[in-house]
């Protein structure tokens, strides 16, 4: 057993995988401000401002909007645990790893889970989803807005009515799209959504923005059974984030500072300008990749700007070794394929602070050097 280790000496990476993404200097600076108490009135002010800015990025007026004290996966679980009661029929769209996880979580929450599966790399046709909703009348439909495993952008604007008609709730995973693409919670009638901080917000990982509509909270407040999780129980967490301010858990104080600054930067830039910047970096990367003979592996009509799924070129025999070279020789991180796409695809992220022309240039130059 060593007495101790030396202080951390870490490389500086160009983060262009599926997240975490490059963090702006002022966000790291906010992260390291002196810690204050989780019940300090000044921290309550931080929480209020975080909530207000989250509402702006979610484009919602939902009162129940907060940063769940865990990573994006905890946010997903918070929604499933609170919105699903034992025996509830849930319909989950599965076209990648993260849809599959939602199905797993809905099942652990006691739901009777039906999945709707299509090939990875494709988006669901909304009419097909609606038809299945008409048939099953599920208590909950959950679909991934931006599949981080496939780079697919799922249209969401026409799903709510069919779900609501049968008293169901519409749930959205917007982990990778939040702050990089329009996420229109109120306009699209989404009842509950969750994200993560380490994608297009360019904040380190550790918190999960979530938002729930009044319709969703009606379901939560009317539950006949206790939520599986105490840590993620929204009636308890919600009382800490607003209302009575009753102590629940000790919030990750400094992570909330960082989220505050990341949200501030996003709103200062302007959401539409930020979306345009992501799209512009994507177009530049795409042109460069196509020019070099790379092929996209996701439906070109539904490509995410911030997550580019490309086939590993035939010229590269060992894709893991190639990614290792990018990391060791260029400090460039790109992502390997997940699940069924492992070994076959690469995922190149252009998220948040990293969605810039100079970053695209660096990515293409590094790819050239190992080609």
**Footprint of a second copy on residues 212-271 (CB under 8 A)?**
226-231, 247-255, 257-258, 260-261, 264, 267-268, 270
Q: Within 177-196, which residues bind a second copy (CB under 8 A)?
A: 196
Is residue 32 close enough to count as binding a second copy by CB under 8 A?
A: yes
**Contacting residue, 46, 136, 316, 370, with a second copy by CB under 8 A:** 46
Residue 150 in 3-state DSSP? coil
Q: How far is the CB of 165 from a second copy (least distance, A)?
A: 30
Please, are residues 79 and 194 in contact by the beta-carbon 8 Å criterion? Answer: yes
Q: How far is the CB of 361 from a second copy (least distance, A)?
A: 20
Q: Within 140-179, which residues bind a second copy (CB under 8 A)?
A: none
Q: How far is the CB of 343 from a second copy (least distance, A)?
A: 14
**Contacting residue, 169, 276, 286, 333, with a second copy by CB under 8 A:** 333
Alpha helix locations (H) across the chain? 25-31, 41-58, 72-83, 97-108, 126-136, 160-165, 185-188, 214-221, 234-241, 253-269, 271-291, 319-330, 357-370
Is residue 20 close enough to count as binding a second copy by CB under 8 A?
A: yes
Please, are residues 189 and 133 in contact by the beta-carbon 8 Å criterion? Answer: no
Number of residues that bind a second copy (CB under 8 A): 84
> Residue 38 or 153: which CB sits closer to a second copy?
38
Is residue 52 close enough to count as binding a second copy by CB under 8 A?
A: yes
**Contacting residue, 77, 85, 147, 319, with a second copy by CB under 8 A:** 77
For the chain, give the number of residues. 371
Task: Single out the residue of 320, 277, 315 nearest to residue 294, CA to CA.
Answer: 315
Can you tell me the distance from the alpha carbon of 60 to that of 227, in angstroms, rounded to the nearest whole number?
25
Q: Within 82-121, which residues bind a second copy (CB under 8 A)?
A: 101, 104-105, 107-108
Task: Single out the residue of 181, 176, 200 nearest to residue 23, CA to CA.
Answer: 200
325 is in an annotated binding site: no
Can you tell me the distance from the alpha carbon of 342 to that of 40, in angstroms, rounded to the nearest whole number?
46
Binding annotation for substrate? 347
């Amino acid at each position: 057993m060593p007495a101790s280790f030396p202080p951390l000496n870490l490389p500086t990476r160009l983060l262009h995988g599926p997240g975490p993404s490059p963090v702006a200097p002022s966000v790291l600076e906010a992260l390291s401000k002196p810690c204050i108490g989780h019940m300090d009135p000044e921290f309550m002010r931080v929480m209020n401002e975080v909530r207000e800015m989250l509402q702006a990025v979610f484009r919602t007026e939902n009162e129940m909007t907060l940063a769940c004290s865990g990573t994006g996966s905890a946010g997903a679980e918070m929604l499933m645990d609170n919105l699903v009661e034992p025996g509830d029929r849930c319909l989950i769209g599965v076209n990648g790893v993260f849809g599959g996880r939602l199905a797993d979580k809905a099942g652990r929450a006691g739901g009777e889970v039906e999945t709707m599966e299509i090939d990875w790399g494709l988006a669901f046709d909304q009419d097909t989803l609606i038809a299945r909703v008409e048939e099953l009348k599920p208590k909950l439909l959950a679909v991934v807005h931006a599949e981080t495993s496939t780079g697919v952008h799922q249209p969401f604007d026409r799903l709510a009515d069919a779900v609501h008609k049968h008293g169901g709730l519409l749930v959205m995973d917007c982990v990778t799209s939040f702050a990089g693409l329009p996420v229109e919670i109120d306009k699209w009638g989404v009842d509950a959504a969750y994200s993560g901080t380490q994608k297009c917000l360019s904040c380190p990982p550790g918190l999960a923005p979530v938002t729930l509509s009044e319709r969703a909270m009606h379901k939560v407040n009317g539950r006949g059974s206790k939520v599986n999780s105490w840590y993620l129980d929204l009636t308890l967490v919600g009382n800490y984030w607003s209302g009575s301010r009753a102590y629940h858990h000790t919030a990750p104080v400094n992570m909330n500072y960082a989220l505050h600054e990341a949200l501030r930067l996003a709103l200062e830039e302007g959401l539409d300008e930020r979306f345009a910047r992501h799209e512009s970096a994507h177009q530049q990367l795409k042109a460069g990749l196509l020019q070099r003979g790379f092929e996209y592996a996701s439906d070109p009509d539904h490509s995410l700007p911030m997550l580019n799924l490309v086939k590993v070129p035939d010229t590269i025999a060992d894709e893991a070794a190639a990614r290792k070279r990018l990391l060791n020789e260029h400090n460039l991180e790109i992502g390997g394929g997940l699940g069924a796409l492992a070994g076959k695809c690469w995922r190149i992220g252009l998220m948040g602070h990293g969605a810039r022309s100079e970053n695209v240039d660096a990515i293409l130059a590094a790819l050239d050097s190992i080609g």
